[in-house]
């Protein structure tokens, strides 16, 4: 078995206070998740609703499951009963559907707004202006079953570390802007989720509070 425990601690030893690890467990077997769980890891990330459901039903109930992939509105109903956070809300339509399904379940689901700052057109997310527009519209304030807790972004897939840093700093600056304008009295709006296995140290420097790391802990994915 891959040395999950050893690799987990290598990562945890580099994280400062105030930065949490989301262990990306998609495509990895339950025994790998349990190896991390036994070392105290409680937050895991999945991106496929069927895999999330199966793992939720067979693993300890105190695990916090984050949905990290692009989420289609017609899939929301399948994950809302199981997730503690949906990290990639990229439209008002999706936010409204999460609220609707969470109300049906009698839950409040935490969410992050996903920003599109990276160069790749293939990445999802709201442009900064689109995010401003969504918040200015104010419809989200009436939603009783979602709680907007912060922002999420993925940096460009590039070897240019300066570019990655610029993109993450843009997200960090934008967080400050909308925190002051819309969430100044809301302590729950505190999360900045950026940084993965290859760039999480830059993310820490740019005020990330959650890093999403999978390969460096669990090894190559098992499809």
The pLDDT tens digits for 19-49 are 999 999 999 999 999 999 999 999 999 999 9
DSSP per-residue letters across 18-50: T-EEEEE-TT--HHHHHHHHTTT--EEEE--HH
Look at residue 2 in the predicted model and tell me its pLDDT: 86
Q: Does any domain span residue 92?
A: yes
Q: Does any domain span residue 44?
A: yes
pLDDT per residue as tens digits for the range 200-215: 999 999 999 999 999 9
DSSP conformation class of 126:
B
Say how many domains are in the chain. 1
DSSP reduced 3-state for 192: strand
Q: 167 lies in which domain range?
A: 4-218
pLDDT band at residue 1 using 50, 70 and 90 as cut-offs: confident
Look at residue 206 in the predicted model and tell me its pLDDT: 98
Nearest of 10, 55, 7 to residue 31 by alpha carbon: 55
d(CA 206, CA 114): 17
For the residues 85-98, what does the mean pLDDT come to? 98
CATH code for the domain in which residue 40 is found: 3.20.20.10
Residue 221: pLDDT above 90? no
Better-predicted residue by pLDDT, 119 or 179: 179
Instruction: List all residues 6 or more positions away from 67 whose beta carbon is below 8 Å from its beta carbon.
Output: 45, 46, 47, 49, 52, 79, 83, 85, 86, 87, 88
Q: Does any domain span residue 38?
A: yes
Residue 101: pLDDT above 70? yes
Total-model pTM? 0.95
> What's the burial of 121, exposed, middle or buried (CB within 10 Å: 0-12/13-18/19+)?
exposed
DSSP reduced 3-state for 129: helix
DSSP reduced 3-state for 89: strand
Q: Does any domain span residue 8?
A: yes
pLDDT per residue as tens digits for the range 48-82: 999 999 999 999 999 999 999 999 999 999 999 99
> What's the burial of 182, exposed, middle or buried (CB within 10 Å: 0-12/13-18/19+)?
middle
Q: Does any domain span residue 97?
A: yes
Nearest of 13, 10, 19 to residue 206 by alpha carbon: 19
| CB 111, CB 143: distance < 8 Å | no
Look at residue 92 in the predicted model and tell me its pLDDT: 98
For the residues 128-150, what does the mean pLDDT come to? 98
For the residues 101-105, what does the mean pLDDT come to? 98
pLDDT per residue as tens digits for the range 145-192: 999 999 999 999 999 999 999 999 999 999 999 999 999 999 999 999
In this structure, the strands spanning 20-24 and 210-213 are parallel
Q: Does any domain span residue 154?
A: yes
Q: Does any domain span residue 144?
A: yes
d(CA 115, CA 113): 6
Q: Does any domain span residue 223?
A: no
pLDDT band at residue 223 using 50, 70 and 90 as cut-offs: low
Q: In whole angstroms, how far apart are CA 171 and each of 1, 31, 92, 162, 195?
A: 38, 35, 19, 14, 12
Half-sphere exposure of 217 (CA within 13 A, CB side): 32
């Amino acid at each position: 078995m891959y040395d999950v425990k050893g690799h987990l601690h290598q990562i945890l030893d580099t994280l400062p206070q105030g930065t949490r690890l989301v262990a990306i467990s998609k495509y990895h077997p339950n025994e790998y998740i349990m190896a991390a769980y036994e070392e105290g890891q409680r937050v895991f990330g999945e991106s496929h609703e069927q895999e999330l459901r199966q793992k939720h039903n067979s693993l300890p109930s105190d695990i916090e499951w984050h949905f990290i992939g692009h989420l289609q509105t017609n899939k929301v109903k399948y994950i809302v009963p199981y997730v503690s956070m949906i990290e990639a809300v990229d439209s008002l339509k999706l936010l409204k559907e999460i609220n609707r399904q969470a109300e049906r379940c009698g839950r409040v689901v935490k969410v992050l707004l996903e920003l599109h700052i990276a160069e790749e057109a293939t990445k999802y997310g709201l442009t900064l202006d689109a995010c401003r527009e969504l918040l200015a519209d104010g419809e989200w304030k009436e939603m009783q079953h979602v709680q907007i807790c912060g922002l999420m972004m993925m940096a460009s897939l590039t070897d240019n570390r300066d570019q990655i840093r610029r993109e993450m700093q843009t997200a960090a600056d934008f967080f400050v802007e909308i925190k002051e304008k819309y969430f100044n009295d809301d302590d729950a709006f505190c999360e900045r989720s950026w940084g993965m296995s290859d760039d999480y140290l830059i993310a820490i420097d740019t005020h990330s509070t959650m890093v999403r790391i999978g390969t460096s802990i669990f090894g190559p994915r098992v499809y």
